[in-house]
Amino acid sequence: MSFHTNYMGVVLECRARIQACPYGKEMHAETKEELYPIALAITKTVPPSEGLASTVKLFGAPRTWSSMSRELETSPAPVELIIASLGQEIQRVKTDYWKHGDGTDPGWVLDAEKQAKWIAYECLTHDIEIPDYIHPDIAKETKSRYIKAGGPSDRSGYNILATKMQQHEREIYLAKLFRENPPPRNAAERKAALEPMIKEFNHYSAILNMSKIISKRHFINHSELTDFVRNNNPKAIEEKISKMDDIELLTTYDQYTIDDAYVSKMMHDINGFGYDVRNDLSEKANLNLLRWHNRAAEVSKNYTLQSAPRILLAIKLHQEIQNRNIQGGDLTIDNINIDDAPTRSTEKHIRSGDQPYAALQEKIDAGDPDINQVKRNIKLGY
C-alpha cells in the first residue's frame, strides 16, 4: 500500500493501480506518517510556538508542553499550532540545536552556574541559607570550598548579594533544570527524546488530516454545493469548475471521491476526534483544544450524509477532466460503489421529490453513460 499527499496537504491512500499517480514520487511514501511533514510544509498557516522553541533551545528537547500553554489558550487553530511547533522542534532535536559548535554545553548554563557558585559562597559568608533554586551539587561543592577556606573571607556587601540574587535567579533555576533533565547527548538519548515527539506529531497530524477531509471544500464552498444539489442549479458549479487550473481540478476530484468506508476507518483510528486532557497544559489551553475537537466531531456527523452530493459533484469534475484530456492516472479510489450513492440518509430527499437526488437515482437505474464512465475510471484510471 502506498500513500500520497495532494496539493491541499491532505494525506490519502494512493489509489493508483495501473497508471502513474499524477502527484509524482516526491508526494508519495509507504506510510502516512512519512508524508505528514510534507503536508505540513504545503499547508502551514500557523507559526510555531515561541515558548516551545525557547524550551528546546534551552534544554535540547521539549520536556513538557507547559511553555506552549499561553499560546494554545488563545490560538484559533490550536491543533495546527501543535503540529507546526513539533515539526520544527523535531528537526532541531535531530541536529543537536542546543549545543555549541564545539559540542560543549551552552554558554548560558556555564555563566549561570558561575553566578550560582558566587551567590552560594556569599550566602554562607553572610550566614544566609543557600536558595533552593541553586543546584544541590553546586551548593554542596560551595560548602566544601567554604570549609576548606576556613570560613568567611572578604565578603561583598549584602546589598550587592541581594541584587545579584534577584538578577540571576531565573537563569540559575533554568541551569538547575538543565542539569536535572540533561539534553540528549548521543544517538540513543536523541532517539528516546524524539520518539514521544514524533508520536504526538503523527497523532495530531492524523487528526488535522481527517478534519481537512470532512470540512475543507477545496475550491468549492458549501453554499455553492448546496445551490447545485438542493436547487438543481449546476451553472455556478460548472462555471467554478471551468475556472479551476489542472492542479485544483485533480485535487478537488481526489477529495470528492473518497470512499465513506475509508473515512469511517480513519475516524476510528483517531477515536472520533476524542480529546484526552493533558496535565502539562493549563486549563484554558485544554479547553481550547477540547472546543476544536468537539467542532470537528460535530462536522464529521454530517459528512456521510453528503455522499450523494459528492458523487454528483464528482461527475461534473470528471467531465471537465475528460474535456481537458488531463493525464491524471488512476487517481480515484478503486472500491467506491456508485450504485450505493443514494444511501438511507438520502432516501427522504428522493421520496420528497428533491430533483438532484431523484435524477441521480434515475441515471443509476438507467445505466447513464456518465455514471458508468465515472465508475470505469474509478476502477481503472483515466
Q: 223 and 174 in one domain?
A: no
The range of the structural domain enclosing residue 141 comes to 107-180
Q: 357 and 272 in one domain?
A: yes
More confident residue, 218 or 265: 265
Which residue, 300, 307, 310, 302, is CA-closest to 237?
310
More confident residue, 363 or 326: 326
The H-or-E segment that residue 247 falls in is: helix 246-256
Q: 371 and 231 in one domain?
A: yes
> What mean pLDDT comes out for the span 84-112?
78
Q: 359 and 243 in one domain?
A: yes
> What mean pLDDT comes out for the span 68-84?
95
* DSSP notation for 292-340: HHHHHHHHHHHHGGGHHHHHHHHHHHHHHHHHHT----S-S-SS--GGG
pLDDT confidence bin for 304, thresholds 50/70/90: low
Q: 307 and 235 in one domain?
A: yes
Q: 286 and 155 in one domain?
A: no
Q: Is residue 374 part of a domain?
A: yes
Q: Is residue 367 part of a domain?
A: yes
Note the pLDDT of residue 222.
Answer: 64
> What mean pLDDT comes out for the span 125-154?
87
Note the pLDDT of residue 187.
Answer: 83
Q: Is residue 209 part of a domain?
A: no
Furthest-apart CA atoms within the chain: distance in Å? 104
Which residue, 32, 35, 33, 40, is CA-closest to 88?
40
Of 143-157, 223-237, 290-304, the one with minimum mean pLDDT is: 223-237
Q: 263 and 133 in one domain?
A: no
Domains of the chain: total: 2
Check: pTM over 0.75? Answer yes or no. Answer: no
Q: 277 and 175 in one domain?
A: no
Tens digit of each residue's pLDDT (9 = 90 or more) over 245-286: 887 888 888 877 887 788 888 899 999 999 999 999 999 999
